[in-house]
Structure 1
Amino acid sequence: MSDTAFNQLAPLIRQASGKTLWLADENLLSARLSPNPAVTVITNRIDLYQQLQQQGWQAQFSDYDLSEIPDQSFDTVIYRVSKEKPVVHHLINEAFRCLKPEGQMFLSGDKSEGIKSYFSKARKLFGGGESSKAEKDTWLVSLAKYNTGSDDFLDSKAYPQLRVCCQDEQFEYWSKPGVFGWDKVDKGSAYLIEHLDNFLMTLPEPPRNALDLGCGYGYLSLNISSLGIPVTATDNNAAALLACERNFERYPLQGKVVPASCAEGISEKFDLILCNPPFHAGFSVDGDLTDRFLKAAHDRLSSRGVACFVTNLHIPLERKAAACFHQAECIAANGNFKLVRLTHKT
């Protein structure tokens, strides 16, 4: 699906000649641009990083960690705004630091995504800038770094820092902005753990290992630690991977954290798969995401195993799962979520 906001920036990326930094995130998975040797790309999505590398770009994967970039070292920074405000504020602040005097930052986004507010705040930081309405409610913003000594930095909620974000009777959960639902216990995931025994009762014997598919900060992984089995946690988001690793370090869990999009590159089979799949890609709802998570679960589930999914009630998971699983059964539902048990057994 073409992104109207990114389409405003694509010509700037193609034509860049000075030293340019392109900050790319999940909105851009459909982007197909020929590599430009003047451009360095930093992304926080492992799938986008791998795609860009395959295309020949100078690409880096991190949680938007620009700390190794010297001050005043880029001529241009290009960024299609992300979904979360702390991420956008963090990257505007870092772009200001990394740009040479009179260097430019180009932003694009929709009015509903906060682009006009970002422009107003960032112009105070940079000292100069212009905005123009590009198409429908999409805006293109250019910022010029004139205030080299400005301290009007945007509030990024201390974006780079992991912190205890929430807790329950069992665990303190470390997380940070940039992780989906970073500052709370997800109600769907808690509902799955509440009914975990109902998933496991169909297994002929206890599971030998587990996969947390789309792990976030690791809530599901931590809450099956009582099973005493090795857990592989995987996510495509750099912030989630950092948070999950911290939580694994803090508690006695046999586990490893693997950067992967929908378990791509993982060959092991698992007796237990846990998944609270996202159904948003960037700013839009993406039904294909559910299909990808179902295929990953199918490919990684052992013949004797069970996959435990929790989704919003409106997601037709059972119908979608029928194409690749012998059994797809809703075992519980409340007003918001449903739990679906998937097996290869008839």
Structure 2
Amino acid sequence: MTNRPATDPASSLLFRTLQASPANSLWLIDENISQPLPAALPHIQAITNRFDLFQHLQQSGWHSRFSDFDFSHLPRHSLSRILLRIPKEKPLVHYLINQAAELLEDQGELVLIGDKSEGIRSYSKRAREKLGGQFSETKINAGLWFASITYDAQFSAPDLDDQNYTQLRELSDKSGFSFISKPGLYGWQKVDQGSAFLADELAMLLNQSLPISGRLLDLGCGFGYLSLRSSSADTQLTCTDNNAAALRACQANIDKQGLSAEILASDAGDTLQGPYDTILCNPPFHSGFATNSDLTSRFLAAAARLLSHDGNACFVVNKHIALEHKASSHFGKIQLHADNGHFKLIHLSQPRH
């Protein structure tokens, strides 16, 4: 994730608001938040869909859960306050507002914090239409807004359009390739073109026929596209991602295709132990509303740590990312396999353990 500076105004405001929150409050955490996180407050629960944040919450002593925002453990209308720093994805924001109407007690409060450019004012208006209670919004500085909306138990309104956030659904790309996905994944309605480029070139890149044999790691797996294109039931497959929604969709795809895999949560592979014979990776470079060039370096370091001495790591990145330079401190052999004008495929071997 992007480690925004501690002075990020929206995160700082949210952290201050947490300190003044009542018992039975719930903090919902997507990736769009600064680090370091504040010290634990025993009367506040936290739920996050990002494993790296869950790890930090656990280390800080928070009462926290890692899930794709599963609220089934919480009694209906039991919360005094819900706090949310606006996420990037509209279906998720709408889903969380809809859930607030199920979780808040009568006159309980939903707090929304975010920048005007992130849609905070539109979201606060929709929250008011859904929750039906008292509404106030405050402009904190040039773009930062704080909104408070209370839930009126006597009020009833249809759900906001969250595109059936919790529902896994089958989709297909232009080539007819079928896959299971859901909102909450980056580019969830399509196959990433970089990943498709890597899958199409993989046999030639590795100089071997598919499916891949031996131990295979899909590092940053998303819904599991690279695994689906490169594996068989005999492949010793591991899929890992930081995003709870991705892990849900990946498990569904693995099951649908009759594969067998370890599907593990990790922050750029930090919970995994190698060695793997082959590593496939399309590293992310977005985190929330920001870009983060450090993510590529972290995935490269993880691949070098996890790859066997004579193994192969295959990366696909945007052509503007200087992966070859970043990889030089982690791998002894770096080869540009292909460049299609948008993405480039890099073959890495001889890891520097």
Identity of aligned residues (%): 43
Aligned partner of 2:62 in structure 1 is: 57
| Native 8 Å contact 2:215 2:278 kept in 1 | yes
Task: For residue 306 of structure 1, report the CA deviation from its aligned partner.
Answer: 0.9
Task: Return the match for 2:35 from 30, 44, 57.
Answer: 30
Return the letter of the residue paired with 2:37: R
Aligned partner of 2:127 in structure 1 is: 122
| Native 8 Å contact 2:330 2:351 kept in 1 | no
Task: For residue 340 of structure 1, report the CA deviation from its aligned partner.
Answer: 0.8
Q: Is 2:213 the partner of 1:201?
A: no
Task: Return the match for 1:183 from 172, 181, 189.
Answer: 189
| Native 8 Å contact 1:207 1:305 kept in 2 | no
SS at match of 1:177: coil
Aligned partner of 2:88 in structure 1 is: 83
Task: For residue 171 of structure 1, report the CA deviation from its aligned partner.
Answer: 4.5
Q: Residues of 1 paired with 2:97 and 2:176: CA distance?
A: 38
Aligned partner of 1:139 in structure 2 is: 145
SS at match of 1:27: coil
Aligned partner of 2:278 in structure 1 is: 272
Q: Residues of 1 paired with 2:230 and 2:49: CA distance?
A: 27
Task: For residue 32 of structure 1, report the CA deviation from its aligned partner.
Answer: 2.3
Q: Is 2:348 the partner of 1:335?
A: no
| Native 8 Å contact 1:24 1:42 kept in 2 | yes
Out of 44-53 and 248-257, give the one that drifted further: 248-257
Task: For residue 149 of structure 1, report the CA deviation from its aligned partner.
Answer: 3.1
SS at match of 1:195: helix
Q: Residues of 1 paired with 2:351 and 2:274: CA distance?
A: 19
SS at match of 2:344: strand
Deviation per CA, 1:219-255: give whole Å up to 9, x if none: 0000002594211000011100000000111113232
CA distance 1:62–1:345, shift in 2 (3 Å): closer
Task: Return the match for 1:214 from 187, 195, 220.
Answer: 220
Deviation per CA, 1:60-112: give whole Å up to 9, x if none: 11100113322110000001011100111101111121111111111111112
Aligned partner of 2:18 in structure 1 is: 13
Q: Residues of 1 paired with 2:252 and 2:339: CA distance?
A: 32
Return the letter of the residue paired with 1:201: N
Q: Is 2:242 the partner of 1:236?
A: yes
Aligned partner of 1:101 in structure 2 is: 106
**Superposed structure 1 runs of 4+ greater than 6 Å apart:** none
SS at match of 1:258: strand
| Native 8 Å contact 2:265 2:271 kept in 1 | no
Q: Residues of 1 paired with 2:9 and 2:101: CA distance?
A: 25
| Native 8 Å contact 2:278 2:312 kept in 1 | yes
Extract unaligned runs of 5+ from structure 1: none
Q: Is 2:297 the partner of 1:291?
A: yes
CA distance 1:4–1:345, shift in 2 (3 Å): closer
Return the letter of the residue paired with 1:246: A
CA distance 1:218–1:168, shift in 2 (3 Å): farther
Q: Residues of 2 paired with 1:265 and 1:123: CA distance?
A: 41
Tell me the C-alpha RMSD between the 2 structures.
Answer: 1.9
SS at match of 2:32: helix
| Native 8 Å contact 1:310 1:337 kept in 2 | yes
| Native 8 Å contact 1:165 1:176 kept in 2 | no
Aligned partner of 2:315 in structure 1 is: 309
CA distance 1:252–1:18, shift in 2 (3 Å): closer
Q: Residues of 2 paired with 1:227 and 1:102: CA distance?
A: 53
| Native 8 Å contact 1:125 1:147 kept in 2 | no
Task: For residue 208 of structure 1, report the CA deviation from its aligned partner.
Answer: 1.6
Q: Residues of 1 paired with 2:143 and 2:34: CA distance?
A: 22
May I ask how many residue pairs the two structures share in their alignment?
A: 344
SS at match of 1:344: strand
| Native 8 Å contact 1:23 1:41 kept in 2 | yes
Out of 232-241 and 145-154, give the one that drifted further: 145-154
SS at match of 2:140: strand
Return the letter of the residue paired with 2:33: L
Return the letter of the residue paired with 1:63: D
Q: Residues of 1 paired with 2:319 and 2:242: CA distance?
A: 25
| Native 8 Å contact 1:199 1:306 kept in 2 | no
CA distance 1:46–1:134, shift in 2 (3 Å): same
Deviation per CA, 1:167-206: give whole Å up to 9, x if none: 4667420110001111111110000011102321289xx7
Deviation per CA, 1:257-296: give whole Å up to 9, x if none: 1111111121121111000110011111111111111111
| Native 8 Å contact 2:11 2:34 kept in 1 | no
TM-score, length-normalised on structure 2? 0.93
Return the letter of the residue paired with 2:204: N
Out of 135-144 and 238-247, give the one that drifted further: 135-144
Deviation per CA, 1:298-317: give whole Å up to 9, x if none: 10111111111111111111
| Native 8 Å contact 1:115 1:139 kept in 2 | yes
CA distance 1:202–1:230, shift in 2 (3 Å): closer
Return the letter of the residue paired with 2:93: V
Task: For residue 116 of structure 1, report the CA deviation from its aligned partner.
Answer: 1.1
Q: Residues of 2 paired with 1:169 and 1:320: CA distance?
A: 34
Q: Residues of 1 paired with 2:68 and 2:130: CA distance?
A: 23
